[in-house]
Amino acid sequence: MRCTFCNTNIPKGTGKMYVKVKGAISYFCSSKCEKNLAMGRVSKYVKWAKSAKA
Q: What is the pLDDT along the chain (54 residues), one digit of tens a residue?
A: 999 999 999 999 999 999 999 999 999 999 999 999 999 999 889 988 876 554
User: pTM value?
Assistant: 0.82
CATH match for 1-46 among 1.10.10.60, 2.30.170.20, 2.30.40.10, 3.20.20.150: 2.30.170.20
Residue-range domain boundaries for the chain: 1-46
Helices (H), the chain: 31-38
Closest CA to 5 of 43, 46, 35: 43
pLDDT value of residue 49: 87
pLDDT value of residue 51: 66
pLDDT value of residue 50: 78
CB-CB neighbours of 3 under 10 Å: 23
